[in-house]
Amino acid sequence: MRPFDYLRANALDDAASKAGDGAQFIAGGTNLLDLMKLQVMTPETVIDINNIDGLDKIEPHEGGLKIGALVRNADLAADPQVRRAYPVLSRALLAGASGQIRNKATTGGNLLQRTRCPYFYDPAMACNKRDPGAGCAAKGGVSRMLAILGTSAACSAAHPSDMAVAMRALDAQVEIRGTDGATRTVAMDELYQLPGETPEIETSLKPGEIITAVILPAPQPNATQSYRKIRDRASYAFALVSVAAVVEMEGETIKQASLAFGGIGPRPWADAQVNAMLEGETPSEELFGKAADTLLAEAVTDEGNDFKREMTRRALVAVMREATGMAPASTGTDKVEALA
Amino acid sequence: MSDTFTMDEAQPRLLDETKQGLVGAPLDRPEGKLKVTGTATYAAEFKPEGMVHGVMLRATITRGKVTGFDETEAKKLPGYLGLFHGPEFVRNPAQGMAGAAPVQPGDRVDYHGQPIGLVVAESFETARDAAARIKTSYEQNPGAPVDPAGVELELNEKRESIQGDLDAAMEKAAQSVDLEYTTAGHVAAAMEPHAGIAEWKDGRLVLHGSLQMVRFNKEELADAVGIESDKVHILAPYVGGGFGSKLGISSEHVAAALAARELDRPVRIVLSRQTVFDAVLRRTETWQRLRLSADASGKLTGIGHEDRVSNLEEEAFSEPVNAASRFMYGAPNRVMRQHISRNHRTPTGSVRAPGEAVGTFALETAMDELAEKLGLCPVELRLRNIPEKHPDTGQAYSARALEDSLREGAKRFGWDQRPETGTRREGEWLIGMGVAAAGRANFLVPSAARVTLSADGALVETDMTDIGTGSYAILGQIAGEMLGLPIDKVSVHLADSDLPGASGSGGSFGASSSGSSVFLAARKIREQLADKLGCKFEELSLGNGEVSGGGKTAKLVDLLSDPISAEGKIEGGKTAKSHFSAGFGAHFAEVAVNEVSGEVRVRRMLGVLGIGRVLNEKTARSQAVGGMVWGVGSALHEELGHDPRTGHIVTRDLANYHVPSHADIPREMEVVFLPERDDEANPIQSKGVGELGISGAGAAVINAIHNATGVRLRHYPATPDKVLEGFANGR
Ligand SMILES: Cc1cc2nc3c(=O)[nH]c(=O)nc-3n(C[C@H](O)[C@H](O)[C@H](O)COP(=O)(O)OP(=O)(O)OC[C@H]3O[C@@H](n4cnc5c(N)ncnc54)[C@H](O)[C@@H]3O)c2cc1C
Ligand code: SF4
């Protein structure tokens, strides 16, 4: 770990004014501190945002919910409104990390957690994300946890979050406060940047910008939500593949479907084409299979992660079967209730 | 010395006669409270005056030479004290019971991750930062092979044993199997990382080390540093798990000793979790071929177990993969053969149950496949092939619970409810049951202990370690039992290299070997007490501070004008030649396999084990359960990922190297110890337990997966992707 200055921000203005070059915000610290110890991240200044008032609330917002950036993952998962109206989010949160980590981890920190690519974690290995232009040691290496969609020649890292996958399926918006004090709201696909030639740039956040909240749109009261995570052990493992689904039926046809995937993309992965081809159709194995074909059409795999194709396909089909009523709902699939 | 007891013949079962009622009782560990309250002082938790901190530097090439270090950036840090390296540095930890320094490679690099230097600073944080700033230059020798299959293999004659004509037996067999298996490399990943504090005091090197075998470790350290072993003083009172990874001294101990000498200050090193993965001996990955042939009645006619393991050049250790295959079942035609791949992956050594932990996967799943082919119940196939004599050596078996544990286990587990393959389902989950036999050779290793009886109670002293297993508890129990004292009158002082030298903790032999030495010391004291009371040794009875025999009774305090001290020493003798002693048992598992995802959940497990005399029901059970958890881990989760170009371990933390989480282990982990005395093992008739718990446990899980799904998995761990591949290849 490099020596660093520790500053505590008491207000958003304060945070913005303290955030100069080489500064990092710290929230739960569950990711940042690990990376600092390994010198994967070497901020000169660490700005603690935990004292900023008002960022730890879950509030009604335009028929939906506004979740403050400092709301702890454990609290968010346990919130009665979330459990009732956005069960997919509760399920996703509880499928992530461990009880201790969820007690500390925050909404903002979870969105911005870095990839778990093991080569990124080892400063002796070449990594374009850590050290732009250095090369990518993960290529041709142990690739089990790497992404298969949206990758580039420069980087194949996967985004590790479960929470963000559920939020993507819910079409959440992220509220960002600029250094000038102005607030803007972006969709998740605008927040996360694909690696392309610049895998070191992961989000559209500018230096000093802070995430203040995540906004969930009003729930669809007749929808079914589902989260399914496939992993290497029963708990405390990142997703090999995960699927979040929000599906609304109208009689025998799918009125609306929003799917998002974890473990396979550099960001919580959603494909508008996949959703569109499901909508207006009658559920069937064949339809779901075609959706999987479309989703995976551009997938790039190697020997170490080729299994993710079949696994993603199976997860998609199983989740859709449950969400559309073709199969009985199991743990992970819930009917949405209206907000209280 | 001549007063060493050698185990030449079966001994009277004295511990069945004594009356204190301590031996076998499920007593709490005396040090338990210290441990759970964080007050037990582990190796790194001493604070000698003036202590400084070290961080190991690792090689980041696979093969070649270190040509220099650039310390410029490190030297700018206040508190930086220097970089230490030199000819005494060791390449990797000593192998278990080596008693001499491991390879000291000088500037040569033999694997990526090899410790090549020690960075010392006033604070840990500075040392770590400095280590990251130092630039090492190398002369690379590229093209080092890191694929175990990519080199010419070395035949290991030590592990070869051939009888009859296996090829002919396979040809003539009514049924046979010829199968290939692979198991992944494992790391012990003890909770307490490897650590040490070295200090030179009064002309001696004092090391607080996290170590399993102090008697051997002091020789190893002395040899590495170049001093006499009586100038080394090792203390390891509490060790937070070892599992083989702390058998021998390791790079941090030697480095700390050298830096401490040069700086004339105590030096502390705690390896980071990543360095533990890089620099500690791992379990080899294996390739195995298992052949079985049987006649129509289900009698084995042939057993072939061939394997390939990895290690670096100059390492004497090779995982004894065929260990259990040699003694579990009999057959006239046999081939046992091992090849060693000398490559430049990280070096390998003993990890809990070396041999059996991975070898039983092949043997016990092949037995399952053969049973299916023969149309026999897998329990029955095993029962039909229990040999009369050790198939290799012709030795008689000492107490052997194989048959009883299979029968008892089948009854308790509800084996008769085992579904037809692939027929039981609960929603997406396919349910099945599996069985595997367990066997783990038992050893008696020379061991010594001193017991002192005074009016206040008894004191046990030995350099035996307690690596979380319960040595403090059982050694106190044996002494108290023999001397008729309640447990709170016995204190146990362990893991100080100035005390009588014990076996150390390894190979599951520690409890029985060191326990026997305590027993023998106490027996000598009993002889003296019989003399003092004036009765025959056989008549003597001790209990709750009273001594009686031959019609006389006295208070212990009245007989003891002065404390009585005696040393017990034991070593193996003729029974080890006449008899083959091993723990045996049977594991049963019920699993659920998810038809969509390929995820496997163990729903319940039962281990029925014969371990001779149980010394403490509670600590023995913990050992057995721990072993079974390891079985689950190696069947389903644990896998070292090696970079295919450098050979280094990529999965070098506990987020990437998956040991089972709590949610992976069912509440129902039942262990049953069959009543047993192993008279040929040692004078307390006990055997090892910790490694027997692993042996076969993973195979039971794999066999249960087959029963659930119809899929045979032969490459471990059986992660979801492999299960799905099994589905795709047809059930
Ligand atoms: C062993 C382990 C297992 C895990 N398993 C899982 C899992 O299965 N699934 C899963 O989803 N996650 C998992 N996690 C990751 C965990 O969810 C994240 O570490 C956590 O959510 C990060 O939140 P934090 O508040 O601690 O972030 P920090 O560590 O405090 O911050 C992370 C990053 O976000 C930035 N940041 C934080 N808040 C803000 C803000 N408001 N505005 C701008 N920038 C901000 C920081 O500067 C930093 O760069 C695991 C973690 C560990 C250690
Ligand atoms: S995949 Fe990305 S994060 Fe991983 S080593 Fe390559 S560049 Fe770095």
ipTM of this complex > 0.95?
yes
CA B385 – CA B371 distance, rounded (Å): 12
Q: Which of B279, B294, B329 is the last residue of a domain?
A: B279
pLDDT for res A331: 86
Q: Cβ contacts (< 8 Å) between A142 and chain B: which residues?
A: 641-644, 650-651
User: What does the pLDDT average to over A29-49?
Assistant: 97
| Domain stops at, among B551, B572, B593 | B572
In whole angstroms, what separates CA B253 from the centre of its chain? 21
Are B505 and B688 in contact, with CB atoms under 8 Å apart? no
pLDDT of A338 above 90? no
Contact assessment for residue B93 and residue B317, using Cβ atoms and an 8 Å cutoff: no
CB–CB of A194/B681 below 8 Å?
A: no
Structural domain boundaries enclosing B240: 52-143+188-279
Domain for residue B298, yes or no?
A: no
Residue B128, chain A, CB below 8 Å: the answer is: yes
Q: Quick one: tokens of B33? A: 């409270």
Separation CA B475–CA A124 (nearest Å): 47
Burial of A193 (0-12, 13-18, 19+ CB in 10 A): middle
CATH of the domain at B704: 3.30.365.10
Beta strands in A143-205 (DSSP E): 173-177, 183-187
Identify whether residues B553 and B435 lie together within a single domain.
Answer: no
Same domain? B436 vs B450: no
Answer yes or no: are the C-beta atoms of B293 and B169 closer than 8 Å: yes
Strands A64-68 and A5-8, bridge-based pairing: unpaired
pTM for the structure as a whole = 0.98
Q: Show Cβ contacts of residue B709 under 8 Å, excluding neighbours closer than 6 positions.
A: B422, B430, B432, B593, B595, B723, B726, B727, B731
- Within 6 A (CB) of ligand 2 lie A 115, 117, 119-120, 127-129, 136-138, 146, 155-157, 199
d(CA B688, CA B682): 11
Q: Which of B248, B279, B310 is a domain's end point?
A: B279
Residue A246, number of CB atoms within 10 A of its CB = 24
Going from the Cα of A316 to the center of ligand 1, the distance in angstroms, rounded, reads 26
**Cα B574 to Cα B463: distance, rounded to the nearest angstrom:** 26
Residue A281 main-chain phi, psi, to 5 deg: -105, 160
B123 touches chain A (CB under 8 A): no
Q: How confident is the model at residue B730 (pLDDT cuts 50, 70, 90)?
A: confident
For residue B634, is it within any domain?
A: yes
Q: Are B599 and A230 in contact (CB < 8 Å)?
A: yes
B670 among known catalytic residues: no
Q: Which of A3, A233, A311 sits opposite B661 (nearest CB)?
A: A233
The pLDDT value recorded for residue B355 is: 97
* Residue listed under structure tokens 């490190």: B74
Residues B372 and B519 in one domain: no
Per-residue model confidence as pLDDT tens digits over A85-96? 999 999 999 999
With a CB cutoff of 8 Å and minimum separation 6, the contacts of B18 are B481, B482, B484, B542
Flag whether residue B599 sits within 8 Å of chain A, measured between CB atoms. yes
CA distance linking residue B694 with residue B101, whole number of Å:
30
| Shortest distance, CA A124 to any CA of chain B (angstroms) | 7
CA distances to B366, B433, B643 from A138, rounded to whole Å, are 36, 39, 9
Nearest to A86 by CA among A250, A246, A267: A246
Residue located via tokens 């084409």:
A273
Asked if the Cβ–Cβ distance from B598 to A234 is below 8 Å, we say: no
State the pLDDT at residue B561: 87
B167 within a domain of the structure (yes/no) = no
Whether B275 and chain A come into contact, CB under 8 Å, resolves to no
Backbone angles phi, psi at A27, to 5 degrees: -110, -100
Same domain, B430 and B492: no
**B456-480 b/e with 16+ CB inside 10 Å = b?**
ebbbbbbbbbbbbbbbbbbbbbbbb
Confidence of residue B1 (pLDDT cuts 50, 70, 90): very low
Interatomic CA distance for residues A220 and A212, integer angstroms: 25
Average pLDDT over chain A, rounded to an integer: 97
A202: tokens are: 């992961």
B-chain CB neighbours of A123 within 8 Å are: 132
- B595: contact with A, CB 8 A cutoff: no
Contacts of B719 in chain A (CB under 8 A): 232
What average pLDDT does this structure show over B128-145? 97
Residue B183 located in a structural domain: no
Half-sphere exposure of A187 toward its Cβ, with a 13 Å CA cutoff?
Answer: 8
Residue found under tokens 């040699």: B326
Strands B115-121, B52-58: pairing is antiparallel
Which top CATH class is A5-48? alpha beta
Name the residue at shortest CA distance from atom 21 of ligand 1.
A110
Dihedral pair phi/psi, residue B113, rounded to 5°: 110, -10
Q: What is the CATH number of domain A223-323?
A: 3.30.390.50
Q: State how far the Cα of B694 lies from the Cα of B663, in Å rounded to an integer.
A: 19
DSSP H or E stretch at residue B410 = helix B402-413
What CA–CA distances, in Å, run from B71 to B65, B87, B119, B135, B684? 18, 19, 10, 7, 58
Provide the H-helix boundaries in chain A: 12-18, 32-37, 73-78, 80-85, 87-94, 99-104, 107-112, 163-169, 188-191, 272-278, 285-296, 307-323
pLDDT at B2 over 80: no
Same domain for B59 and B91, yes or no, is yes
Q: Which residues are A229's β-sheet partners?
A: A242
Instruction: Answer whether B306's CB lies under 8 Å from B337's CB.
Output: yes
**Which ligand is the nearest neighbour of the Cα of A35?**
1
* Tokens matching residue B95: 């192998």
- B506 alpha-carbon distance from chain centroid: 5
Residue B570 is encoded by which pair of tokens? 């034991």
Does the structure show a pLDDT above 50 at B197?
A: yes
| Mutate which of A115, A119, A301 for ligand 2 pocket (most atoms within 8 A of beta carbon) | A119
Alpha-carbon gap, residue B120 to B21, rounded angstroms: 52
B472 occurs within a structural domain = yes
Q: For the residues of B132-174, what is the DSSP string, one character each? A: HH-EEEEEE-------GGGS--EE-GGG-EEES-HHHHHHH-S
**Do B122 and B270 belong to one domain?**
yes
Which residues are registered as beta bridge partners of B649? B642
Residue B544 is predicted with a pLDDT of: 80
Summarize pLDDT for B637-689 with one digit per residue, the tens.
Answer: 999 999 999 999 999 999 999 999 999 999 999 999 999 999 999 999 999 99
Does B309 fall in a domain? no
Q: Is the pLDDT of residue A340 over 80?
A: no
Query: Over pLDDT 70: what percentage of chain B?
Result: 100
Query: Cis (ω within 30 of 0) for the bond into B717?
Result: yes
In a domain, B44, yes or no: no
Q: Answer yes or no: are the C-beta atoms of A266 and A198 closer than 8 Å.
A: no
Closest CA to B669 of B594, B604, B591, B579: B604
Structural domain total, chain B: 3
Chain A residues in contact with B278 by the CB 8 A cut-off are none
Distance CA B277, CA B345 (A): 12
Report whether A59 contacts A212 (CB < 8 A). Answer: no
Same domain, B399 and B412: yes
Confidence of residue B731 (pLDDT cuts 50, 70, 90): low
What ranges make up the beta strands (E) of B295-370?
A: 300-311, 333-342
Provide the pairing of β-strand B396-397 with B579-580.
Answer: parallel
DSSP 8-state class, residue B389: B
Regarding whether B471 and B421 lie in a shared domain, the answer is no
Instruction: Establish if B289 belongs to a structural domain.
Output: no
DSSP 8-state assignment for residue A205: P
Residues 6+ apart with CB under 8 A from B108: B64, B65
Same structural domain, B451 and B518: yes
Annotate A100-125 with b (16+ C-beta within 10 A) or e (fewer): ebbeebbbbbbbbbbbbbbbbbbebb
Instruction: Map out the domains of chain A as residue ranges.
Output: 5-48, 223-323
Residue B226 has pLDDT above 80, yes or no: yes
Which atom of ligand 2 has the smallest separation from the CA of A130?
A: 8
Question: Residue B165: its pLDDT value, please?
Answer: 98
Q: How far is CA B699 from CA B144, B420, B605, in A?
A: 34, 19, 12
Q: Which of A137, A116, A304 is nearest to B655 (CA)?
A: A116
